[in-house]
Structures are given as structure tokens and as C-alpha cells.
Structure 1
Amino acid sequence: MKAIFTPILAFLCIISVTSCKSDDDGTPAPASADLIVGTWDMTANTVDDGNATVTVQGFPLTADFTWEGKNYDYQLTFDEDNMVGENGSFTIDLTYEALGQTETEVIPLETGNGDLLLSGQYSVSENQLTVTNEGELVTATIEELSETTLRLSIDLASVSPQIVDDTVENATGTNKITFSRQ
């Protein structure tokens, strides 16, 4: 079971760094697009309420999962020409439960080897950060944007199944990511 869930959920957590669309009714105040320009260091990356269904040999298998980031050395740089780039690495402690068994995996993620995909053209409108990345349009809700803090909220249900894996269905949960300005 470990071999089935680890790659799929790891890829889901990678994609969620950049992929979301929120339908939350408690919308945060609109963000000022000018404030996002600069370099931001990741300081937190969590999911407390994840759930996904994968198809294994034609049968659906559901798993609850959580993750907590650590060993942060990951930066996003937003420039005035509306381009965003990424650099660095971090680690995810991924815990999932399926068929009554709980497993924990430590997953190192880094730029430059295809693990992370956040780079491309970006826009900020109201409280939404949208990035066009490798032909995919991804959106994150900006929960907070100040001179010192960028907090994003990512609805995993909005991540395109084609980005993750065609065997993943009904992924849900909220990825919360916090950055501080360099």
C-alpha cells in the first residue's frame, strides 16, 4: 500500500503548492498586487484534512492524509513583469491512513528536478493569485498579503486530476502555505 499512495499523494502535495481555486464564502480582503513583488521564503506548508481516492487494479481505495513541511529552503520570486520563479527545497512529512493502516513518509522536494512546478506568468486580482504554469492555469486564494507575510490557501479539490495522476479521484483538503519576505 505504501508504494501505491506515496507517489500519488506526494505529487498531489507538490502540485498544491501552486494549484487551487477557493470557493470559501469567508473571502479575505482584496490583496494589493504591488505588495507581492519580491522574494518570499516558505515558512509553513500544511494539510490537516486531506482525503483522496485512488484506483488500484480497478478498485477504488480511499485514504485520509495530512502533511507538515519542514527543512524550508524554498523561495518564490515575483517580479514587476508578472513572472514568478522558484528556487530551493523543503521536506514534507506525509501521513496517510487507508484500510486501517497508517503510514508516514518523509518526502524531499526540490526545484530543478521536476518536483516543483511553480514558475511562469502570474496575476493578482482581488484575493486570487493565478499562475500560468506549463499550460495549466492554477489559482490560490491569498489569505494575507502584507509587507512581511504572504499566506496562501489551496483547495485540493480544484487540482486538475490530469496534473496529478488519472488514478486519483476526489482529492479534497486545504493546503495552507505561509511565506515571509526576504
Structure 2
Amino acid sequence: KAFIAPPGSLLMAGDYSQIDLRALAHLSQDPSLLAAFHNDEDIHSATAAQLFSVDASQVTPDMRRLAKTVNFGVIYGMSDYGLEQATELSREEASRFIADYFDKYPGVKQYLESTKEQAREMGYVQTLLGRRRSILEINSSNRQVREAAERMAINMPVQGTSADIIKVAMINLYREMNQRQLRSKMVLQVHDELIFEVPE
């Protein structure tokens, strides 16, 4: 089963490249992460080169895949145990990879810690555009509840900012398409991707 365009039309997709990691770079203001994006680097390969202490040209697909897991895992508050489960690394190796990641991107570590601290003090976190989410469980005496709230606290500003950006883009595109009286239609949004039905 699949979505298909009606006769005379095509489906066209456009997406934001690595929007969550770009949001993290902006929110954390980590110099190395910002530089990687400003230099149009493949962020997963750049992270792999650092983690494996090799030149970017020597990064293998397996190295890149692992770095990608670490990059996204950080956004979701992944622990060394979580990384061990998601990869073939030992717990010790996973712990070292996470430590090396934060050595490469110390601004990210500082941002994540300050975000958790803000949630503890204020009871909420917010996106770049000011949308808030209550994180009342972050001060729970139950360790599992507290750690889940900490993961939510560091994840929401990043993914929420990405969601805000795509929603603003949708509004702007809708207005622009109507103003130009285009026959194209926005038909679907999937995380960082917009899908349009356009005339052939």
C-alpha cells in the first residue's frame, strides 16, 4: 500500500537536513558543532572521525553509523547502557564514546546540564519560540521517574524547536502558495519533511 498522486500530478518531498542536530547546535552554541554545520560537514562523519581518531576521509560506513547513534542518542539522553543495547559496543566502550562525544562538543554537555537544572528550578523547559512543557517529575524521589523526566527535559527543547520550525514553515508556505494561486497542495508533514502534490 502506498500513497500515489492522481493523474497529472506528482508527489514532491522536501526536508530539513539534520534539523534536530542543527537545533541542538543553535541551542547549545557549541563552537565545534556550529562550525561543522557552517562548513557544511557531514556531522555524523565529523563525529566519527573525532571518536575514532581518524581523518574524515577514513571514516567507514560502520563508524558513521555508530557516530549517528551517538549523535541522536545524546539528544534523547541515552546512557552508556542504552548505547550498549543499541550497538555492539561493550558498556565500557559505550561510556568512553559518550565521554569522547562530550569532549568534542563540551558546549552540548553544558547546555544539557543547564537545561536539566532549569527544569529542576522552574518546573518546565521551553523551545526556542517559547513553547513550554511542564517537567514536574524531575524532582521525584523515584530514580526511574526522575531520570525519565531528565531525558524529557533535554529532548523537548531540541525536538520541540524542530517541530516549531516546521510548523512556521508550513504556515509560510501555505500563505505563499495561496497568494501565488498555485495548484500545488501541501498534503503531508512527517517530522522534518513536507510532502506536496504538484502538477506535472
TM-score (norm 1): 0.29
Q: Greater relative contact order (Cα 8 A, min sep 6): structure 1 or 2?
A: 1
Instruction: Pick the structure with more strand per residue.
Output: 1
Instruction: Pick the structure with more helix per residue.
Output: 2
TM-score (norm 2): 0.28
